[in-house]
Structure 1
């Protein structure tokens, strides 16, 4: 049993959901786009999910009602606080540093934002952001939504921008950009010597670690997008996914630090591959892979258009890669539903994602002898 009572309480609720459904870990994991071993760790309390969205999808699959989902979210919040290490988060986001390997970022062409993956609270920040920003941030977010609807500010380009008093979009989405390949492999570029870089974090703590080191994604950036409709009966059709590159420079020469620290079973969800080195990158749908079983299985490539509802969410993984570019980019997701169309901008909290090719020395962490960063062969 987990030592921490909050983690144990949360794990017990997840186990109860799994027992109610009756399906195996592997069968449920396929529906949730996680491995069977990952779902087992949630049930045993060995791991607390980084985001509530995956557990909320489990609750929906297992027929949980609104009250049960709220109790589950409250338990996840307590467990997340208890399990998360006491690492001070960076303060207000500062202006990007200037230097030979960084160019000023262009102004975003229109506003952007993300909404939580819960139809019951449309437009408010996620549970983790509410903790991070406090009630002031939550109130400001709600006021921003009200102002946007009142003034007719629509978060899509073209004709939709001209519409007056456009109602909110009929879908919600969450974005995670510090996703590691197979849950264990990733490379960060950090402008510091090896003796000044702390050990690799656990995968769920990658974002605060990377922000504290002012790290840049090295070689590729994996962006996980979870999307669902607001209605359980009316589908929202995801029409297309576009890539917008807003800045290009030579790949930075910072040292590269590999996060590989051992892998379990892995699931690559519905996957889009993006080659940022092309003049006009596109999101190309490719097959995923589930390595959690004894032999593994291929997850078929997704074909857009694709329909989602509140009770049938979907998760996509975008793998944006580069060898020679220091690229700044974001995604646009086109949707249609309820007689309306629109475009959602998917970015890094209002800023473009940043991915650079690896040009400097590469280091891996030695967990046995030196317990420090050593040159990687």
Structure 2
């Protein structure tokens, strides 16, 4: 069984929702397109889902309120983080290659005084043996030093372009005062002005559909301390299946059926799709320790604005299927057609700043809409903790998000139980 209070609290909440719905495991599993045994494992705490999408669908089937959806997401984040920590704790048990020579050299150095004492008390005829021992000791230390240097050289990142791999979807970059957009690798700090030779030491870890990214350390101070928070970005979330549409430069016969939400990122990549009319981005921000981190602001930056693409418009929902949706707390809108788009809280919702810690994460829902343009854009999150502060750039696999207007575009829907796309009414 999955250990930890986070996983237990998450499973307990799932059971409460399931029991309240009055639906059996079999009925729920069938509607969620998963096996009954898998659903049992989630509700019993035997496993934590790797992706939040099926959890949210389960909660909506069980008529969860907006507040319950937010609380469920918070518990899933904590349960998922607890699982990651346990996995990381096992790794140090296996020594890495560069440390082996150093560990071997330590006993040799410790043995040196004892050998010297033994040689001083020995007869003169032992002098050749003493010389051989000293020679062997010096050679062992030299070899250990060379191997250690080679291991260190292999472990250091290169500054060449060959190290710049593509980031997972939902990338986060740490930026300093001299932010160099487009030059940093996934979750990499831009070197600060005070330390131009600083090397990127942050890491990025991608999850299913390229969702989670951890960013560290802070770059604006030039310090080596890790950024005290992580950001998990889901750039292809759906507010509801019926509201999500994609523009694709292909005829209906070449477009596969609509995916499940957790498979949307792969489906978009395979079809070359662009978010149509609006894009729904979910951000989960969590501290890495007990210290409080202030999320000061979230801003929009434009990377390009063009005429909308003249492609076909494909709806993800199935006609005849109910697609209700609620506006969760911490919801914001972005009008990409505006001259200066801004992140604006939904009516009745709080605006920034917010506070996060390891035990108290925040989830932000960003709905960006475009009508008159094809817009490339990205987000920047400003944070502060004590004397440290920084900026995280949030984008899509190292590239800006892209959202295009869909007015007048040919629209298609995929009927429930059907086998091909059919012409729709074009409503979004």
TM-score, scaled to structure 2: 0.56
Aligned: 1:326 with 2:374: yes
Paired with 2:305 and 2:13, the residues of 1 have a C-alpha distance of: 49
CA RMSD of aligned residues (A): 4.3
- Secondary structure in 2 aligned to 1:331? strand
CA distance in 2, matches of 1:43, 1:336: 44
Whether the 8 Å CA contact 2:50–2:208 is kept in 1: the answer is: no
The residue aligned with 2:205 is: 125
Structure 2 vs 1, CA of residues 21 and 209 (structure 1 numbering), >3 Å: closer, same or farther? Answer: closer
Which structure's CA Rg is the greater one? Answer: 2
- Does residue 367 (structure 1) correspond to residue 416 (structure 2)? The answer is yes
The whole-number CA distance in structure 2 between the counterparts of 1:248 and 1:164 is: 34
- Partner of 1:6 in structure 2? none
1:117-141 CA-to-partner distances (Å, cap 9, x unmatched) read: xxxxx835144489x9xxxxxxxx9
Give the equivalent residue in structure 2 for 1:58: 75
Deviation at 1:168, TM superposition (A): 2.4
Aligned partners of 1:191, 1:215: CA distance in 2, in Å? 8
Does 2:298 correspond to 1:281?
no
Residue 318 of structure 1, CA deviation: 0.6
Give the aligned partner of residue 277 of structure 2.
Answer: 219
Alignment of 1:1-377 (within 5 A): 17-18=9-10, 24-25=16-17, 45-46=38-39, 48=49, 50-51=51-52, 57-58=74-75, 66=82, 70=86, 108=181, 111=184, 113-114=186-187, 123-128=203-208, 154=219, 160=220, 163-232=221-290, 234-261=291-318, 262-263=321-322, 266-269=325-328, 270-287=330-347, 300-359=348-407, 360-368=409-417, 371-377=419-425
Normalized per residue, which structure has more helix? 2
CA deviation string 1:15-52 (max 9, x = no partner): 954565799439x9xxxxxxxx99x9699645955259
Structure 2 counterpart of 1:291: none
Whose RCO is larger (CA < 8 A, sep 6+)?
A: 1
Cα distance change of structure 1 residues 69 and 268 upon mapping to structure 2, 3 Å threshold: farther
Q: Which runs of 5+ in 1 are unaligned?
A: 1-8, 29-36, 75-91, 94-106, 116-121, 133-140, 155-159, 288-299
Partner of 2:113: none
State whether residues 112 and 345 of structure 1, in contact with CA within 8 Å, keep that contact through their aligned partners in structure 2.
Answer: no
Inter-CA distance 285–25: structure 2 relative to 1 (3 Å threshold) = same
Q: From the superposition, tell whether residues 252 and 266 of structure 1 become closer, same or farther in structure 2 (CA, over 3 Å).
A: same
Distance in structure 1 (CA, Å) of the matches to 2:361 and 2:35: 21
TM-score normalized with structure 1 length: 0.62
Q: Structure 2: 5+ residue runs without aligned partners? A: 21-27, 43-48, 56-71, 91-164, 167-179, 189-201
> Is the alpha carbon distance of 1:309 and 1:52 closer, same or farther for their aligned partners in structure 2, counting shifts above 3 Å?
farther
How many residues align? The count is 282
Shift in Å at residue 259 of structure 1?
A: 0.5
Q: In 2 relative to 1, CA 310–196 (structure 1 residues): closer, same or farther, beyond 3 Å?
A: same
In structure 1, what is the Cα distance between the partners aligned to 2:282 and 2:186? 15
Distance (Å, rounded) in 2 between the aligned partners of 1:239 and 1:113? 22
Q: CA deviation at 1:242?
A: 0.6
Contact 2:7–2:78 (Cα < 8 Å) also in 1: no
Indicate how the Cα distance of structure 1 residues 69 and 169 shifts in structure 2: closer, same or farther if over 3 A, else same.
closer
Shift in alpha-carbon separation, 1:112–1:279, aligned structure 2, 3 A = farther
